[in-house]
Amino acid sequence: MSTCMTTAPVLVAGAWPAGVFDRAGAVPELELTHLGTLPAEEEVLRRLIGRAEDPWLLLGAGMEDADRLCLLRTVRAIRPGVRLAVLGPAENAGRVSRWLSLGCDAYLFEDITGEALLGVLQIAGPDLVIVDRRCRPPAAEPDAARLTDREREILDLLCAGQGNSDMAKVLRLSRRTVEFHLTRIFEKLKVTSRTEAIARAWHGAV
């Protein structure tokens, strides 16, 4: 999230756990708006988003995917760089893959807490895609890129939203060693960013 003090709109659709937005609603830099009946009119969305550079769209439960995609397309037509969080079931890895391919910044399970959601809104973005740590990528394909056991451990932590320093602590390695392994992972997967590496993992390509 931007370090300046401008307000970031957060558009909320669908059903979310009770009280999950209490903490986010108390942060002055976030302006929460719960969308009513869908589909929302483009004029209304344009007014809510305004000229903000980093709005969020949060898609909750109780929505058909067709409605989610329609709303996402409308918001992206207004602000292509909108950040996206999707609430979904834990067991559907294929669904996680589809939303990541659509540029999802955070895939969250349906029991998310307010504290966890606030953390997501503050740190997720182009360089850090967040997928609930309880989720695991689909099984690797036979011709998948060959990663070492250590590289797979690091990729798993990357998919769980861990930063380099956190990975180093978990694996008891130096940050430099973690960065070396990440470089090797990127080379093997033929990707240039953390986001691409996560997407490759969730498409079963590793």
From CA 188, how far away is CA 51, in angstroms rounded? 40
134 and 160 in contact (C-beta within 8 Å)?
A: no
- Where exactly does CATH 1.10.10.10 map onto the chain? 149-202
Task: Indicate the pairing of strand 30-34 with strand 56-59.
Answer: unpaired
Q: Is the C-alpha dihedral spanning 191, 1, 115, 17 positive or negative?
A: negative
- Report the CATH fold assignment for 8-131: Rossmann fold (3.40.50)
* Inter-residue long-range contacts of 2-9, CB under 8 Å, 24+ positions, other chains counted: 2/53, 2/54, 5/29, 6/52, 6/53, 7/31, 7/52, 8/52, 8/54, 8/55, 8/56, 9/33, 9/48, 9/49, 9/50, 9/52, 9/55, 9/56
Does residue 149 have a pLDDT over 80?
yes
Q: What is the pTM of this model?
A: 0.65
pLDDT per residue as tens digits for the range 81-113: 888 999 887 666 677 777 877 888 888 888 888
- Where exactly does CATH 3.40.50.2300 map onto the chain? 8-131
pLDDT per residue as tens digits for the range 122-135: 877 666 677 776 66
- Report the CATH fold assignment for 149-202: Arc Repressor Mutant, subunit A (1.10.10)
pLDDT per residue as tens digits for the range 178-191: 999 999 898 888 88
The token duo for 177 is: 């060693």
pLDDT on residue 42? 80
pLDDT per residue as tens digits for the range 10-45: 999 998 888 888 888 778 778 888 887 666 778 888
From CA 98, how far away is CA 202, in angstroms rounded? 9
pLDDT on residue 2? 38
pLDDT per residue as tens digits for the range 60-82: 988 888 888 888 888 888 888 88
The larger pLDDT score, comparing residue 135 to residue 9, is at 9
